[in-house]
């Protein structure tokens, strides 16, 4: 890797370090929220160890033996506490994965920064006598121009990365909801505990990915803060209350209602996916434009250096 390539990579370091600062703050807030939700669940259910392992469907199945003719409010509170904890746990897991990746990237760039600084100092000695010459002035202008281009490329690249991840998660949700809708239709005509669990197994998958997508969309909106005319619609999620009522008071009316809710969510996901794909296309176009500017800048710089004594 030559000196110019090292410099261009090192210039992305401040943006990554700024993202790390914001990420660490977000992790601290998420850990505080998780701690509060854990305490809330303790009040609802003393068996906290089960919270870390149990799926939503398993929780419903376990409670079947504890309910008789009506849905007890205390049990519904336990279910809601479980869902809230799972949502927060998924979110913090995603944040920690992102921090691990970011730490690795920053560490590698800091190592490059040291070698770049040493080589740059040697180069400064060589061109120090030319700073007031036309070649030196032009060289500085190209450097400022390139710094701005690299900053834009870095921002667009990060936004595009998150947009791609968001689109992938949205597609997973769409697949799970499609399967859930099929079981919801069967539930109307067949019913039974096995059909219920099959339906909610796919809803569980969709819900888990809803949590992941929610985190990704927050990051995407952050990355797009400097990109105009790009928005993300809201996301409607099936409530735990509706799911629980459907499970225990299953009849054609509530089953139809849940199927309608699944269809509504599927429609929202489809709209959201189209929006994300449009964002991806816009980001790719902007990125291509900046890359063309960068290539032209590098050609101008190389030509200048070749003709500078």
Which tens digit of pLDDT belongs to each residue from 259-276?
Answer: 677 777 788 888 888 888
Q: Which of 75-79, 204-208, 221-225, 252-256 has the lowest mean pLDDT?
A: 252-256
Note down the domain range covering 190: 3-306
pLDDT at 252 exceeding the cut of 60 = no
Cα separation, 208 vs 91, whole angstroms? 10
> pLDDT for 181-219, tens place per residue?
776 666 666 666 666 667 777 777 888 888 888 888 888
Cα 187 from Cα 73, distance rounded (Å):
25
What pLDDT does residue 80 have? 74
Q: How many domains does the chain have?
A: 1
Judge contact between 237 and 210, C-beta under 8 A: yes
Higher pLDDT, 185 or 250: 185
**Whole-model pTM over 0.85:** no
Mean pLDDT on 56-69: 53
Average pLDDT, the chain: 76
Q: What is the mean pLDDT of residues 166-186?
A: 82
Please check the confidence at residue 75 and state whether its pLDDT lies above 60.
Answer: yes
| pLDDT at residue 236 greater than cutoff 90 | no
- pLDDT for 249 equals 44
More confident residue, 93 or 307: 93
> Distance between CA 195 and CA 191 in Å, rounded?
6
Q: State yes or no: pLDDT of 293 exceeds 90.
A: yes
pLDDT band with cut points at 50, 70 and 90 for residue 106: very high
- Taking CA atoms, 201 is separated from 45, 93, 153, 184, 195, in Å, by 23, 21, 41, 11, 10
Q: What angle do CA 112, 115, 119 make, to 5 degrees?
A: 135
Structure tokens at 3: 């000196």
pLDDT for residue 69: 40
Query: pLDDT tens digit string along 121-147?
Result: 666 566 656 666 777 778 778 888 988
């Amino acid at each position: 890797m030559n000196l110019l390539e090292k410099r261009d990579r090192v210039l992305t370091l401040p943006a990554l370090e700024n993202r790390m600062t914001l990420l660490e703050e977000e992790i601290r807030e998420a850990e505080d929220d998780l701690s509060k939700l854990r305490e809330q669940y303790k009040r609802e259910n003393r068996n906290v160890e089960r919270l870390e392992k149990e799926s939503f469907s398993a929780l419903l199945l376990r409670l079947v033996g504890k309910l008789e003719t009506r849905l007890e409010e205390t049990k519904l509170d336990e279910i809601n506490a479980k869902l809230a904890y799972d949502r927060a746990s998924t979110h913090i897991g995603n944040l920690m994965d992102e921090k691990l990746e970011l730490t690795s990237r920053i560490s590698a760039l800091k190592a490059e920064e040291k070698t770049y600084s040493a080589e740059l100092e040697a180069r400064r000695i060589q061109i120090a006598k030319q700073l007031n010459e036309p070649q030196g002035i032009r060289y500085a202008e190209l450097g400022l121009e390139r710094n701005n281009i690299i900053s834009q490329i870095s921002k667009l690249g990060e936004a595009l990365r998150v947009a791609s991840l968001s689109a992938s998660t949205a597609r997973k949700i769409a697949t799970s909801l499609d399967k859930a809708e099929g079981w919801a239709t069967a539930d109307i005509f067949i019913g039974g505990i096995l059909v219920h669990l099959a339906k909610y197994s796919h809803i569980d998958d969709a819900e888990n990915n809803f949590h992941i997508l929610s985190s990704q969309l927050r990051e995407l909106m952050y990355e797009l803060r400097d990109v105009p005319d790009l928005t993300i619609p809201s996301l409607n999620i099936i409530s735990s209350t509706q799911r629980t009522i459907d499970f225990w008071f299953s009849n054609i009316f509530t089953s139809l209602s849940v199927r309608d809710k699944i269809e509504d969510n599927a429609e929202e996901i489809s709209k959201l996916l189209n929006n994300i794909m449009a964002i991806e296309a816009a980001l790719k176009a902007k990125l291509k434009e900046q890359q063309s500017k960068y290539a032209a800048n590098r050609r101008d710089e190389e030509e200048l250096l070749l003709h500078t004594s």
